[in-house]
Amino acid sequence: MSLYDKWLDLVNIERDQEEYDEFWEGYFVAEEKVYQKILGDKLEVVSGKVSELAEGFKMDLVTFAGFLSGINTSLKQEIDLDSITEESEIKLEIDFEKLYFNMLDAQADWLYTLKEWDDILTVEKRKEIKKQYNATKTIVKEDKTGRNEPCPCGSGKKYKKCCGK
């Protein structure tokens, strides 16, 4: 069983609300520390054995697999999570703009508000990414043709007498 499968099993364990909140709170604290290190050291590339990286970030292997699943879509080259073992050599080339966007999308305010972002992306760049993110959440309704307007097919008839029948 892969580390990622073990992570999925751990996440899907039946818990009451208190246990659920406690589990995720613990994970989010550990995740925040990893991002503080990555952003603080401006680590664009993190590489090594999974076991060594997990130890370096002070995470157990299964939790580190959970972290990898979270950062995977923010990498320049995604990794195959199902094939990851503790002996796997991995290389995480981080696209910081994509990472910031994904943190906004995950509504992870404890991550996208970290002070370490100041040395990675300018305030203007972060505002631009936030604007791009907001645009993806805006619903744009197409203009409807009114019944008494000219038909869009170009016949010259009113819509109600042409394509609107």
- Tens of pLDDT, residue by residue over 2-36, are 899 999 999 999 999 999 999 999 999 999 999 99
Q: List for the chain the helix, strand, coil content (%; round to 5).
A: 55, 10, 35
| Res. 39: pLDDT tops 80 | yes
Domain assignment of residue 154, yes or no: no
Residue 148 lies in a domain: no
- Cα atoms found within 13 Å of the Cα of residue 137, Cβ hemisphere only: 11
Residue 52 belongs to a domain: yes
State yes or no: pLDDT of 49 exceeds 80.
yes
Residue 34 lies in a domain: yes
110 belongs to a structural domain:
yes
The pLDDT value given to residue 1 = 83
Given this model, what pLDDT does residue 127 score? 96
Q: What are phi and psi of 93, to 5 degrees?
A: -95, 110
**76 assigned to some structural domain:** yes
Look at the chain and report how many structural domains it folds into.
1
pLDDT band at 44 (very low <50, low <70, confident <90, very high): confident
Distance CA 76, CA 74 (A): 7
- The whole-number pLDDT of residue 144 equals 85
In-domain check, residue 126: no
Given a cut of 90, whether residue 165 has pLDDT beyond it is no
Mean pLDDT of the chain: 93
Q: Is residue 163 part of a domain?
A: no
Q: Percentage of the chain surpassing pLDDT 70?
A: 100
CA distance 48 to 35: 17
Q: How confident is the model at residue 157 (pLDDT cuts 50, 70, 90)?
A: very high
User: What's the start-to-end Cα distance of the chain, in Å?
Assistant: 60
Q: Is the pLDDT of residue 140 over 90?
A: no
What are the DSSP E strand ranges found in 89-163?
Answer: 89-93
Model pLDDT, residue 145: 84
Is the Cβ–Cβ distance between 148 and 136 less than 8 Å? no
pLDDT tops 90 at residue 138: no
Domain extent at residue 112 = 3-121
Averaged pLDDT for residues 124-151:
89
User: How far from the centroid of its chain's Cα atoms is residue 154's Cα?
Assistant: 45
Q: pLDDT value at position 143? A: 80
